[in-house]
Amino acid sequence: MTCDTTIHIIDDDQAMLESLSLLLTTEGYSVRTYESAGAFLDAIKHNACGCVVTDMNMPGMSGVDLLIVMKEQNMSMPTIVITAVCDVRLSVNALKQEAFYFFEKPFDAEALLTSIRSASMQAPLSGLEGGEDGLGAVSLEKRMYGPPTRFRLAPVHGITRHDADLPDA
């Protein structure tokens, strides 16, 4: 079974869900939207694949809480976190929970698309056995081409795990 390019968008703001959905479907992605992290977890299959774009601050479960639950349930989908209220503590916490990328609203649409393309290429294949962690996923460092490097896609509005030089969580 191969992995699709479904982008799972989670945000309690209906306007943000609609605008991100329009942007991504225009780019050719299959999109599913959810108004909460709980709705996403209820709807998603354990071995689902694709990429997640989630808001940080939502009623109920936050984006960081979602990352923790996904990690506990061995859900290996690259996750991009977006937020309207950004501080260093929040971004570092999200990256420590293995967020693939972190954006502050308003963000550059092209930078977001670039990070989604990159995350989609690194999404594990659903239903495969093996892999470095036994779940069909290989570590981020091994999935990068060449040696691990520092990179920055959106210097002002985005930060990656590599930018923060974080120890493994």
Q: In this predicted model, which residue has the larger pLDDT, 1 or 24?
A: 24
pLDDT of residue 56: 92
- Residues 79-104: tens digit of each pLDDT: 999 988 777 777 777 877 788 888 88
What is 91-143 written as a DSSP string?
HHHHHHTT-SEEEESS--HHHHHHHHHHHHHHPPPTT--BSTTSBS---HHHH
Question: What Rg value do the Cα atoms of the chain yield, rounded?
Answer: 15
What value does the mean pLDDT take over residues 101-129? Answer: 76
In this prediction, residue 123 has a pLDDT band, given cuts at 50, 70 and 90, of: low
pLDDT of residue 150: 32
Q: Is 80 exceeded by the pLDDT of residue 151?
A: no
What value does the mean pLDDT take over residues 15-22? Answer: 95
Domain spans in the chain, listed from the N-terminal domain onward? 6-164
Residues 6-164: name the CATH superfamily: Response regulator (3.40.50.2300)
What value does the mean pLDDT take over residues 34-63? Answer: 90
Report the share of the chain in percent with pLDDT over 90. Answer: 41
pTM above 0.85, yes or no: no
